[in-house]
Amino acid sequence: MIKNKTIAVFGGGSWATAIVKMLSENLNEIGWYMRNSYASEHIKINRHNPNYLSSAELEPDKLFLSNDINEMIAYADCLIFAIPSAFLKTELDKIIVPFDEKIIFSAIKGIVPETGLIVGEHFHKILKVPINDIGVITGPCHAEEVAMERLSYLTIACIDEQKAVCMAEYLSGRYIRTKISDDIVGTEYAAMLKNIFSIAAGIAHGLNYGDNFQAVLMSNSIREMKRFIKKIHKMKRNINNSAYLGDLLVTGYSVFSRNRMFGNMIGKGYTVKSAMLEMSMVAEGYYATNSAYKINQKNEAKTPIIDTVYRILYQNGDPKKEFEKLTELLD
């Protein structure tokens, strides 16, 4: 159970800030680990994160802020990780305090590059956290709309239903609706895959493909997601539910989507390196593309969209030529 346990959020970015804001609706004390000590001090005085989601009003009186990850691990019973997957292992390698008996929720929508595992699998296989003590927080939900207090929806997945229910209650609020799921593997893979499909949508936009093609691309993307996940974790799931299709659509179409923005720059002729330098935030789909492609070399699901994005990002494929070939494979 999570009830009456101390909760801490790990990460200093937009999604971590949004989660802290949501939790503040229901909790009187929340731990918050962020590496940037300047940001912590700024929040205490000015009530907002100076670097990310600065429009979000925060409640410093409810926050225990620290830039020492070991202090925060020792402080909390339930740990919510919202650190970009590319930097997660570096942060976890700093931990020297006991890590056992902690409940872990991942709000990270990506793959740990060093292990090629989704975050929940990394905690389970590498850090030996029992699978019943691992959960996933996924969308469809953009941090920017949380800051604006627009109605948003979350899916909380955990094999232990009571833990999912408790976390859902803590995150629910005036403008947040929640539902629970037992598909911890499927929802986390879906959250990772939708970033790749969002890059594809961005590339298409950058190449001046219109709404008609985007609709076909999204239709094929959800079917490709279903095939990919089914190969990894076969169970009864409705791929049209919000945690899968809804999260894909909001990431593929929204102006807030970092992955779509990244893909759009690639489609317009930016190199991968120049696109990354221009963005101030991490596009999780870049790392996810490499991992998903490698995973599928073993599983052999039909994944023409993932394969196309991989060739463009990792094999210097020409976006225009690659998408011309992709259009012949979609229906």
Catalytic residues, which ones? 194
Inter-residue contact 50 to 82 (CB < 8 Å) = no
Extract the tokens encoding 74.
């020792």
One DSSP character per residue, 120-167 reads HHHHHHTS---GGGEEEEE-S--HHHHHTT--EEEEEEESSHHHHHHH
Inter-residue contact 70 to 95 (CB < 8 Å) = yes
Extract the tokens encoding 309.
């994005």
Extract the tokens encoding 214.
């985007």
Cα(3)–Cα(115) distance, integer angstroms: 32
Inter-residue contact 184 to 157 (CB < 8 Å) = yes
Distances (CA, A) of 60 to 36, 43, 57: 16, 7, 10
Inter-residue contact 119 to 81 (CB < 8 Å) = yes
Inter-residue contact 139 to 243 (CB < 8 Å) = yes
Alpha helices per DSSP H over the chain:
14-24, 37-46, 69-75, 85-92, 119-125, 143-147, 161-171, 184-206, 211-232, 247-253, 258-267, 272-278, 284-299, 304-314, 319-327
Range 257-271 burial, b when 16+ CB lie within 10 A, else e: bbbbbbbbbbbeebe
